[in-house]
Structure 1
Amino acid sequence: MINIVEVTEIEVYAYHGCMEEESRLGGKYLVDVAIETDFSKSAATDHLIDTIDYVVIRRIVMEEMTIRSKLIEHVGYRILKRFQNELGNVIKSRIKVRKLSPPIEGTVKEVAIIIEG
């Protein structure tokens, strides 16, 4: 059985970007996570240890988002690798990192990257 655990709109204030002002001022980010897994065991046992814990997902995202990167692609890749290395029973992950109100010319609500693996 294939199932998906989602945690959406994890809100983070972080300091990513290529411009020096982004390293000083920071900005708001939203991170969406979808992890494909098999939670038939946890559905049967009703034990947290038998599934992927939402709290751990959020913790990994928050830890990686605090490490400054020039590119959100880099941050997203680090999050994906942590999921693969630290969470049990991951079949596939999808991470979307959205940078709100990016400092680019014109009015842009957000920019985003999506990484799957």
Structure 2
Amino acid sequence: MDKIVLKGMRFYGYHGCLPEETKNGQPFYIDAVLYLDLSNAGQSDLLSDTVDYSQVYGLIHEIVEQRIYRLIERLAAVIADQLMLQFPFSGVDITVHKPQAPVGGSCDDVYVFVERRKV
């Protein structure tokens, strides 16, 4: 299956269960793998035969920076579900990285991975 990948999108959000997370915020990094048939776009060279990934980026930006969720599991699910609703994807894989997650010790990254597929 063909795919478009947006990797390492950087946003600042206020997601978390602790008061300081929702007050001060922190960086979030999002990876999106978008599954769709790219054969027409590969032949026509027309944007209308594919998905404008700037629109995908804009939707993810709005979700991460203008909404607040306690869990990154919920954040990832909302991103995945909205992408499936608003674009002609046969599936999406979404990874939400929270590198400054309060784990009580040294940890390079905490992330959640969700996938959605059309049935």
Please report the TM-score for the alignment, with normalisation by the length of structure 1: 0.94
Distance of 2:74 and 2:36 partners within structure 1: 24
- Residue 112 of structure 1 deviates from its aligned partner by 0.3
Q: Match for residue 104 of structure 1?
A: 103
Q: Any unmatched runs of 5+ in structure 1?
A: none
Which amino acid is the alignment partner of residue 75 of structure 1?
L
- How high is the sequence identity, in percent, across the aligned residues? 25
- The alpha carbon displacement at 1:110 in A equals 1.4
Calculate the TM-score normalised by the size of structure 2. Answer: 0.93
Number of paired residues?
A: 115
- Cα deviation for residue 46 of structure 1 reads 0.7
Q: Which runs of 5+ in 2 are unaligned?
A: none
Question: Who is 1:78 aligned against?
Answer: 78
- In structure 2, distance between residues paired with 1:110 and 1:15: 17
What are the Cα deviations for residues 15-69 of structure 1, in whole angstroms up to 9, with x where unaligned?
0000011011111110000011101011111111111211011111111102100
Give the alignment of 1:84-95 within 5 angstroms: 84-88=84-88, 90-95=89-94
Conserved 8 A contact 1:99-1:110? yes
Provide the residue aligned with 1:20 in structure 2. Answer: 19
Greater fraction of residues in strand? 1
Question: Cα distance, 1:83 vs. partner?
Answer: 0.9
- After the TM superposition, list the runs of 4 or more consecutive aligned residues in structure 1 that deviate by more than 4 angstroms: none
Q: What letter corresponds to residue 80 of structure 1 in structure 2? A: A
Q: How does 1:4-19 map to 2 (within 5 A)?
A: 4-19=3-18
Contact 1:102 1:109 in 2 (8 A): no
